[in-house]
Chains A and B, each alone.
Chain A
Amino acid sequence: MEQPIFSSISVGESIPPLTIGQIDRTQLALFAGASGDHNPIHLDDDKARQGGLPGTIVHGMLNMAFLGRLLTQWVPQQQIRRFSSRFVGMAFPGDEITCLGTVASCDASAGENCVTLDLVAQNQSGEVLLKGSATICLT
């Protein structure tokens, strides 16, 4: 993996995007098992509707894991100092998710070369599901 270098990064540039194939209910069931999140709103349409949702929804933390992959396909994990997201929209089975990152700022003042990225996970219609941020230190 060719690693990004601080001096060659500029504000506004995009990092390589990550596109996830269509999410199906099997993946939600497997993620429920692997993640320990057994909330029925991700597994059972009836229960999801009882809770006022249109049907089962994708785990927010699965979408956040995709954003994590966007970061770790760009830099080794130990360079990621902070990673956050707000779950602003719901994803449903059948959705295709794309993860995007843009350089929001570059800061070398604290003795380390850090960049802050704005992150977005969106569906096939361009609706935003997650809005995030990451602080990454580069060489």
Chain B
Amino acid sequence: MREELIGKRYEPFTAQVDKWRLRFFARTIGETNPACFDEVAAHKAGYRSLLAPLTLPFSLAMDFDQSLLVLKDLGADLTRTVHGEQSFTRFAEIFAGDVITGQQEITDIFEKKGGALLFAVTRTRIDNQIEEHICDMDTTIVIRQQLS
């Protein structure tokens, strides 16, 4: 247990939302909304550029190793780690061309099953270049610990 990590805030990260990447992500999830691929369709739908799929902000945080930083602080092995829960509390959309800023904070750390499972909960707040609060992402990471 590393309760002293609760409240730890990581350095903010800044990500450019690239059109190519947004389309690639949309294609690999099988997205069918033309506003994710075609700028004319996006404009017609009232968006300023290509629309980022709902869960893309999680990947923008992955690019900056946000979960890995937490695992490193916990001394946990990636292959013994699973994603337990994920939520998005949403206020605005992300579009291609946006520059988003994120900051992650550890909000809870606890054990279950006599220490066999370690849970780390983080919140990452995402804002964009025009200071809109885009979303808060709450992530629960579960680590299967080897009991000695």
Contact = CB atoms under 8 A, between A and B. Distances in A.
A68 B89 contact: no
Interface string A71-97: 111001110111111110000000000
Contacts of A50: 79
Contacts of A73: 32
Interface stretch (B1-9, B80-88, B96-104): B80-88
A69 B30 CA distance: 8
A6 interface: no
A35 B78 CA distance: 17
Interface residues of A, number: 39
Interface of B is mostly: mixed
B93 A60 contact: no
Interface residues of B, number: 38
Interface of A is mostly: helix
Interface of B: 21, 24-25, 27-33, 45, 51, 53-55, 58-60, 62-63, 77-90, 92-93, 138, 144
Max count, chain B CB within 10 A of own CB: residue among A33, A34, A61, A68: A34
